[in-house]
C-alpha cells in the first residue's frame, strides 16, 4: 500500500508568536494545559518558537516603567528556563544558524522576543540588555499607546487619545534605529497604521508583523490593510498570519473556525505579497487557536490544509520558517 505523503515532513517549522503563562502556570516540560509546551512541539513537529515576554500596557510613570522592566526581565528568565543546561528541554537559539543547528540536532529552538516596547520604559540602554539575552524582535506597542509609538487600539482606561505621537515618538525613532544596530527586528503587530508606515520607512531591516491577519478579509483594527501589506512587501518584510478568532472572521468564536480560515488569510497574503513574505505566528497561549488547531501538537493540520490548496514543499518551507530565517539573517548582517 502506498504511504500517504506527509506534507509536514522535512519542514523546519517556526511559530513566531507564542505567549507564556504568567506569573504561574503549567510546566513547559509536560504535556499539560498549555497550548504550547515542549512535548506538544515535538508531536506537532515545530522546530522553533518565538516565546514572548508580554508586558501589558499600564501607567508610564516611574513605578509603571519599573514594573514593566521587572516583568520583562523575569519573563525572559522563564523563557530561558525552557532550555535547561542539562539538555533536557529546548535550546536557546539567538541566530538563524543556531535555529538550524538545533533542528539538525533534533532539539526545539527557543527564540526569545518581547511584546510591547514598554518593556524598555524610556531607557534605550535596556535594548542592549535585551539583545544580550537573545531577544530577536520587539513588538513596538501592545494595545494602548506607549512612550515609543501609537497603537492600533488606544486604551480608554489609560486615557489614551486617538493618536498621541502621530506614529513614532522621538524615543520610538531612536529605539527602532537602535534595534537595527542590535539585530532586533521591529515588529509592527499592534501598532497604528501611521506608526507602522513610519517604521517601514525608517528601519534598515525588513519589517515583520509577528501575529496579524488581513483587513480585507476581516475588518479589525489589529489587521493589516492592502496598503500595509504592500508597504511590508516593499521592505522585503513579512506578515505572520495569526489565529485569533476575531481577527480571522468578524466576531467569530474559535470553535466555529478551522484551519481553512487561517489558510484563507495565508492565501490572501500570498496573493498580494508573494510566497516570500508570509509566515505563521499562532498567538497560542495568548488567545490564538481554532477548532482543529487548538495546540502546537496539531500544527500538521494547517500544513495539510495548505498542501491541499497546492502549496508544495518549497512553498510550505518558506511559510513555516524559511522566510523568517531569511529576515533574521538580514538583521544579523547589518548588526554593528
Ligand atoms: Zn499580541
Q: What percent of the chain has pLDDT over 90?
A: 98
In tens, the pLDDT along 157-166 reads 999 999 999 9
CA of 4 to the centre of ligand 1 (A): 36
pLDDT of res. 5: 84
CA of 287 to the centre of ligand 1 (A): 8
CA of 19 to the centre of ligand 1 (A): 9
Q: Report in angstroms the alpha-carbon separations of 304 from 1, 63, 159, 260.
A: 20, 48, 45, 10
In tens, the pLDDT along 47-71 reads 999 999 999 999 999 999 999 999 9
On the question of pLDDT at 333 being above 80, the answer is yes
On the question of pLDDT at 2 being above 70, the answer is no
Phi first, then psi: give them for residue 144, nearest 5 degrees.
105, 135
Cell numbers that stand for 177 in this block: 534605529
CA of 56 to the centre of ligand 1 (A): 10
pLDDT of res. 4: 73
**Mean pLDDT, range 143-167, rounded to an integer:** 97
CA of 190 to the centre of ligand 1 (A): 7
In tens, the pLDDT along 195-248 reads 999 999 999 999 999 999 999 999 999 999 999 999 999 999 999 999 999 999
On the question of pLDDT at 1 being above 70, the answer is no
The per-residue pLDDT of the chain, averaged, comes to 97
Question: What gap in Å lies between CA 239 and CA 242, rounded to an integer?
Answer: 9
CA of 142 to the centre of ligand 1 (A): 6
On the question of pLDDT at 172 being above 70, the answer is yes
CA of 144 to the centre of ligand 1 (A): 12
CA of 160 to the centre of ligand 1 (A): 18
CA of 284 to the centre of ligand 1 (A): 10
CA of 16 to the centre of ligand 1 (A): 11
CA of 202 to the centre of ligand 1 (A): 22
Between strands 238-241 and 208-212, the pairing is parallel
CA of 248 to the centre of ligand 1 (A): 14
CA of 313 to the centre of ligand 1 (A): 29
CA of 3 to the centre of ligand 1 (A): 39
CA of 191 to the centre of ligand 1 (A): 10
In tens, the pLDDT along 11-22 reads 999 999 999 999
CA of 201 to the centre of ligand 1 (A): 23
In tens, the pLDDT along 187-200 reads 999 999 999 999 99
CA of 282 to the centre of ligand 1 (A): 10
b/e code 215-235 from CB counts within 10 Å (16+ = b): bebbebebbbeeebbebbbeb
On the question of pLDDT at 256 being above 70, the answer is yes
Closest CA to 209 of 154, 281, 317: 281
Amino acid at each position: 500500500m502506498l504511504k500517504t505523503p506527509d506534507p509536514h515532513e522535512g519542514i523546519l517549522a517556526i511559530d513566531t508568536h507564542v505567549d507564556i503563562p504568567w506569573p504561574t502556570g503549567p510546566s513547559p516540560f509536560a504535556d499539560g494545559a498549555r497550548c504550547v509546551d515542549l512535548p506538544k512541539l515535538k508531536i506537532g513537529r515545530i522546530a522553533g518558537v518565538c516565546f514572548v515576554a508580554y508586558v501589558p500596557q499600564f501607567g508610564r510613570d516611574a513605578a509603571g516603567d519599573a514594573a514593566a522592566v521587572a516583568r520583562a526581565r523575569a519573563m525572559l528568565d522563564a523563557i530561558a528556563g525552557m532550555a535547561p543546561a542539562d539538555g533536557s528541554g529546548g535550546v536557546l537559539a539567538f541566530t538563524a544558524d543556531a535555529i538550524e543547528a538545533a533542528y539538525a540536532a533534533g532539539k526545539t529552538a527557543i527564540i526569545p522576543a518581547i511584546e510591547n516596547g514598554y518593556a524598555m520604559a524610556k531607557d534605550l540602554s535596556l535594548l542592549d540588555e535585551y539583545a544580550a539575552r537573545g531577544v530577536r524582535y520587539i513588538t513596538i506597542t501592545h494595545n494602548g499607546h506607549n512612550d515609543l509609538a501609537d497603537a492600533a487600539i488606544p486604551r480608554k482606561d489609560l486615557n489614551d487619545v486617538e493618536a498621541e505621537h502621530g506614529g513614532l515618538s522621538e524615543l520610538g525613532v531612536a529605539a527602532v534605529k537602535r534595534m537595527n544596530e542590535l539585530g532586533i527586528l521591529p515588529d509592527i503587530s499592534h501598532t497604528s497604521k501611521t506608526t507602522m508606515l513610519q517604521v517601514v520607512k525608517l528601519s534598515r531591516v525588513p519589517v515583520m508583523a509577528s501575529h496579524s491577519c488581513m483587513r480585507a478579509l476581516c475588518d479589525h483594527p489589529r489587521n493589516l490593510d492592502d496598503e500595509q501589506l504592500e508597504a511590508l512587501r516593499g521592505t522585503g518584510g513579512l506578515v505572520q498570519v495569526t489565529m485569533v478568532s476575531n481577527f480571522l472572521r468578524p466576531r467569530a468564536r474559535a470553535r466555529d473556525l478551522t484551519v481553512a480560515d487561517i489558510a484563507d488569510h495565508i492565501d490572501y497574503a500570498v496573493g498580494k505579497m508573494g510566497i516570500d513574505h508570509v509566515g505563521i505566528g499562532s498567538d497560542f497561549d495568548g488567545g490564538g487557536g481554532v477548532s482543529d488547531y487548538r495546540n502546537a501538537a496539531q500544527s500538521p493540520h494547517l500544513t495539510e490544509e495548505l498542501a491541499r490548496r497546492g502549496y508544495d514543499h518549497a512553498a510550505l518551507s518558506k511559510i513555516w520558517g524559511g522566510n523568517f530565517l531569511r529576515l533574521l539573517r538580514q538583521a544579523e548582517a547589518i548588526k554593528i
